[in-house]
Each structure stands twice: as C-alpha cells, then as structure tokens.
Amino acid sequence: MQLRKHKRSYSLILAALTFVSALCFCRGFANPAVKDTEHHSWNRLVAIGAQFKPAQPGTRIACVPIVLPGQSVFVTAVSSRNKPAADVSVMVNGMPVNTDMEGLAVFTAPDSQTMTLALMDAGHKVLYERRYVASGGKLVAQPLNGALLSRLLDASPTTGNSPSMVYAPLVTAPGLELMIIGHNFSANPEDIQVILDGVSIPVTSSSPVSCLCVVPNRTGIGPLKEIFVKVGDDPSTAREVDVANAELIYREATLVPGAIYHGRIQVIGTNFPCLLEVENRFPQMVTLSLPGGSAMSTVSSILTPGGERNLVPVDIQVKEPVPFLVDVRILPNLPGAPGSEDYAGDPNYVNLVRQTNLGDITRLKRRLIAIDKRLATLKNLVGAPGDPQAQRRDKQEKLLKERRARLNNMLNNQRQLFMSLGGTDNDYQKALELAQAETQPAAPNIQLLPLPAQATPKPTLQGQRAL
C-alpha cells in the first residue's frame, strides 16, 4: 500500500512538471526575445535548444551585420532558390534556433564577445557561417569595420524613441540587398517596414540598430526615390536613394570574331559615381579591355565618373560567333556591406570606395545648391496672401526646405563615412568647392581589382544588352 502511494505521488509530480514545461515554452519562457514582444500581436514560437533541423546545400542566412548584445534580432534562412527555408536550425553559438514557415528565426543576441551564426547539413557539416565580434558595445559581423560603424551611429545619436536612419546606400539596384543603419529599429518581424518609393519592402533581418531587405525586381529605375523605415505607425525621417541599372552596351547586332568593337559599361538611373563589379561569364569567348589596352580579368571592379554620361568605355573582342554574358553589379559604398564582403580587406577596394564617397559628396552638394537657387527664385515671386499663386509658392517652398534639411543630413552622414574611410577634411572641402564651381568632375583613374582568390562570383540580375 505504501509503495502504491509513492507511485501515485510520482505520477502526479511528473504530470505537473510536464504541464509547467509546456506552458513556459508556449509563453516564450525559453526565449527572452519572445518576452520582449508580448505586447505585440505576433506570437511566433521560436525554440532555442530545440531539436536540430538540417539545412540543404546552398542555404544561407540573411542577417543584419550589427546587433546589440542581450537584445532581440531576427534573421531569415534563404534557400539556394532564394526562397524562405522553413524548419531549419540557425545555430547561434552552437544552440539551434528553428525557423518558422516563413524562414524567420527570432532570438536574443548573446551577451558575449563573439557570436557565430551557422547552418549545418544532416551530417553536421557547416554550410554557412557568419561570425560577429564585439566592438564599441555592439556585435559586428566580419569583415565590417566596427569602429567605422560606431562612428556613424555615434555621430547621429538618437533623440526620443522614433526610428532614425544613419546610413543607407545612395544608389541601389533591383534585386540587390539593401542595408540600413540607424536607431530604434524593431526586431519584431511584423512591426518593421522599409518603404521605398511608396512601396513596402519585406524586411529579411533586423536588430535595434540595423535592418536588411531586398530591392524588389519591379522597382522602377530612376533618381530621387524616397526611402524610410517604419516601426509600427512611427516613420523615420526620409532619405533619397537612386535606383539604377548597370550593364554592358554595344551597338552591333552581330560581332565578328577578331574584330574590336567599342562599347560601354554604363549606369542608368543615377548621376552618382558608382563602384561596379564586372564579371565576364565567358572569358574563353570574349575579351574586354579598357581604353589604353588594359585587359579586364574575369571579375573586375571599376569606378564610373558620375554625371549625365555615367559610363566607362570598353573594347570588346569575341573569339567565337556565339552569345556571351557579362554581368555588371553595383557594389555598396560601405566596405563589408552585403554584396561586398569579399573585397572588405582589400586596400585598393577601400581606396575606390573612398573615391566613390568623395564623388557622392560633390553630387549631394550640387543638389543642395540647386535647391537654394530654386528657393531664391520662389522668394522673388509676388502674390497676395490667399492668392492661388502664393499658395502654390508657399507649398513648394515648404517641400524644398524639407528636402534641403534631408540632404543636409545625408551630406553630414556621408562626411562621417568619408572620414571613417581615411578621408581628410581638406579633400572634403575640395569636393564641396568642386560642386560650387559647377564643372564636371574629372573622371577618376579607373582601377581594376581582381576578385580575391577565396571568393566566388555572385549571380546577378544585370546582364549584357545590345542596342
């Protein structure tokens, strides 16, 4: 009888523990990231320390490059077909965090000096890995420069709780990953949006200080697209981004083997100078050369001069009368940002990025000068209060002043980026003077950078086009 009572007690205790464990898991007890967002409508069950789920070859993690220790972050597992990878384990310092049906994994960044995100196959072979190291109170993904990012964030401190943007690329392209750095972003997947040209873009990864998204393929080409981050119903101040396309262009419909044809690598949609990666997919069939006869390697980087004719002349020579493909991709103007990881440690590449940013400063200043001229013209317009012409003038004046404030903010951020890349105040002042002179900037010395040996070319959406 005594033994039967003990068995019954053990059974009751075991049932109670099972119920409490299940309740704690459903409440997100096992994951502090869930506790932080209980006041929101979403309710993602993210299991830390859950059963390991292998990933398929080619799967990668879309992850922001800056996170805050002890705070929430979400990432997206992406398959080789660029689709969300559901029910796979994102290994966070060796601990599995399983993705949901949308490929999202939410977790709390460890309060440590390092963080490693990884995907593994069924044999626990690492398929993808991203390492973060502590820098200035943040965990920064390698090979990004933590000191550079801290300088950008510290130069524009947050005021209040509204989101604010510190960095966004001045030029992007359809299909490219776009990284934004700022303050007061949300790690709640259902609470953060990036609005580009009036269209909401799905965010693939976010932390309180950075977010990542992909520019939709349907985005129209052209300058002066408005972009901002929205957290809940609270928008950040807007910035401007040019959406461009870069490609190899030549006039001839048919190329005769052995003959040399003059073409151009041109950026359409922006007058900002652009750093480009040019990949010759069929080097055994076609040769590309720069003016002067400098042969381009299979994968090279070149810098366009900016301006209305934002192009670099190239000579084309085919060896066989068959179709060929040359991919041209716009690289970000921040070393180590998504899409430029392979070049981050190359001093020649950093020098080209610095030149790019110097040209960006000149172009931003020219836009400010144009606004000041327009404001001066509006000031001379005469109209009585309440007159329709005066009302139109006042409305235009308000919009121009708002844009001027936006561009001044962008120019200050660009200056911080330029200085962080080793630029000097003297060069910065010369860039401003060049804008005042209203002359076309001299074309930079075109430099070629072979793709680092450890890197692999990335597929792109831009390709060769014949006129």
Per-residue pLDDT of the chain (467 residues; tens, 9 = 90+): 444 444 444 444 444 444 444 444 333 333 333 333 333 333 344 445 568 999 999 999 999 999 999 999 999 999 999 899 999 999 999 999 999 999 999 999 999 999 999 999 999 999 999 999 999 899 999 888 888 888 888 877 777 889 999 999 999 999 999 999 999 999 988 899 999 999 999 899 999 999 999 999 999 999 999 999 999 999 998 999 999 999 999 999 889 999 999 999 999 999 999 999 999 999 999 999 998 888 899 999 899 999 888 999 999 999 988 889 999 999 988 888 888 887 777 778 888 888 899 999 999 999 999 999 999 888 877 666 667 777 888 889 999 999 999 999 899 989 988 988 888 999 999 999 999 886 444 444 444 444 444 444 443 333 333 32
Task: Report CA 254 to chain centroid distance, whole Å.
Answer: 38
Domain stop point among 211, 243, 275: 243
Same domain, 86 and 228: yes
Reduce the DSSP state of residue 135 to 3 states and report it. Answer: strand
Residue 25, domain member (yes or no): no
Domain stop point among 243, 261, 293: 243
Residue whose C-alpha is closest to residue 448's, from 290, 305, 283, 337? 290
Specify whether the CB–CB gap between 204 and 76 falls below 8 A: yes
pTM of the predicted structure, to 2 decimals:
0.80
Domain stop point among 193, 224, 243: 243
- Owning domain of residue 375: 244-467
Same domain, 406 and 420: yes
Q: How far is CA 40 from CA 31, 43, 69, 101, in A?
A: 16, 8, 22, 19
Overall domain count for the chain: 2
For residue 275 the two structure tokens come to 């750093």
